[in-house]
Amino acid sequence: MRGGKGGGLLVAGTTSDAGKSVVTAGICRWLVRKGLKVAPFKGQNMSLNSFVTREGAEIGRAQAMQAQAARVEPTALMNPVLLKPGGDRSSQVVLMGRPVGELSARGYHGGRQKELFEPVMACLEELRSTYDAVICEGAGSPAEINLRRTDIVNMGVARAARLPVVVVGDIDRGGVFAQFFGTTALLSPEDQSLVAGYLVNKFRGDVSLLEPGLDMLYGLTGRRTFGVLPYAHGLGIDEEDGLRVSLRGTVRESVVAPPVGADVLRVAVCAVPLMSNFTDVDALAAEPGVVVRFVDRPEELVDADLVVVPGTRGTVKALAWLRERGLADALARRAAEGRPVLGICGGFQALGERIEDEVESKAGVVDGLGLLPVRVWFGVEKTLARPVGEALGERVEGYEIHHGVADVRGGEAFLDGCRVGSVWGTHWHGSLESDGFRRAFLREVAAAAGRRFVPAPGTSFGALREEQLDRLGDLIEEHADTDALLRLIEEGAPAGLPFVPPGAP
């Protein structure tokens, strides 16, 4: 490895959602299967899907997933800066796993981001001194020419650490050749010298039909394509960003297996604004016979056997949204009829009687939906924890990420929250990943809903996740030039890569 440090690679993308997260995870799994000690890294992440490490630090959930792919414990070093949007123009800044303030986009890019470059690079250097290889994930596109001066996640990191860069493009969207060429041509000569080549993601069809285009791309840029990864169905890997409202009705991918009992269970997840950690329902979607959909209309709750009100970065905003759309009344009718509702974190808070918020929304006292005997007040300090407990006779593990403090004033104890009839509420994310508890909970839901649903006895969410990560490793091993990728990681970008005009303006 170079200079006594571990090797490295930056996986950039032509766009957001090009596949950087899953490609990074796949490379991590491929390398660890080769016997290397590997760590993921993302200098700055913008996401509402986060995770709590064992030391109590909040990082992006994608980096936690990549750490699992690398078979190492996730730490704050792997994602030193996390931005959690609180609206269209502001985000909470989480540094080394702890919130340090709320900033507008202008304020962040106008100065604060530059201050964070040094701690970001210090984290990367510490990882490189400990691991054989560090696989870094970029953000958005490296050719965001308006943001290059303050970049701490794409070419800014690559230049400072002399990392080779592979650019991933999603061919399923179309226009991938223009994306590869345009991304390269908008970079400065110094940045271009580190862009070693490309990876095509989500290809469907005959690769031989694509090869002439790849040859022409090489002729135009002097850079090769390191692999063409086929479209893979049913991966269900943690997503970095929240589902957009335009994706209403999206069905979470499930394992392809018939239900064990006579009926399926239908789960409707309210797609609240600033939805966070919607990955909580992935464990439900992994159960044979459970169908999970995201909804935003009251009529879509009618045939649901379970309604989930998920976490949100804006509990008061979510409450207003639920009322405006008629979902609040629909939830009240469900509760009165004894039909199952589960609130998680911000969703749990919304189901309570009252919220006092001078921190998140600064709205003061706001009435909740009144379905649970809970009063919530928001503290400045954020709760970040990895609790372990018991519910429904089963051991449960979870993680907590919230400013709201719940005063539970009645009902039956349920984790840190409570239950009244068929309405449950808890701050614990990830609880449904505990297999025994998930099965016990689904049996309760099925009984309350009058469904002849039987949880599959052998479903292991952890095992399914490992299978998915192995599939990502297989995609890299079988469809990428792994010898060439390993040379990049060990030796850096090849010398003499040609400049593609016009370069950065």
Annotation says 429 is catalytic: yes
SS3 for 150? helix
The DSSP line for 36-78 is: --EEEE-SEEE-S-EEE-TTS-EEEHHHHHHHHHTTS---GGG
**First and final CA of the chain: distance in angstroms?**
35
- What residue type is assigned to position 367 of the chain? D
Q: 465-504 in b/e burial notation, b at 16+ Cβ within 10 A? A: beebbbbbbebbbebbbbebbbebbbebbbeebebbeeee
Q: 310-329 in b/e burial notation, b at 16+ Cβ within 10 A? A: bbbbbbbbbbbbbeebebbe
Could you say which of 345, 402, 403, 427 is catalytic? 345
Is 395 within 8 Å of 435 (Cβ atoms)?
A: no
Tokens of 167: 């650019």
Cis amide bond preceding 502, omega within 30: yes
Tokens of 351: 């189901």
- What residue type is assigned to position 224 of the chain? R
Could you say which of 402, 427, 429, 479 is catalytic? 429
- What residue type is assigned to position 400 of the chain? E
What DSSP character marks residue 6?
Answer: P
The count of other CB atoms within 10 Å of the CB of residue 192 is 25
Say how far apart CA 158 and CA 294 lie, in whole Å.
Answer: 38
Enzyme catalytic residues: 345, 429
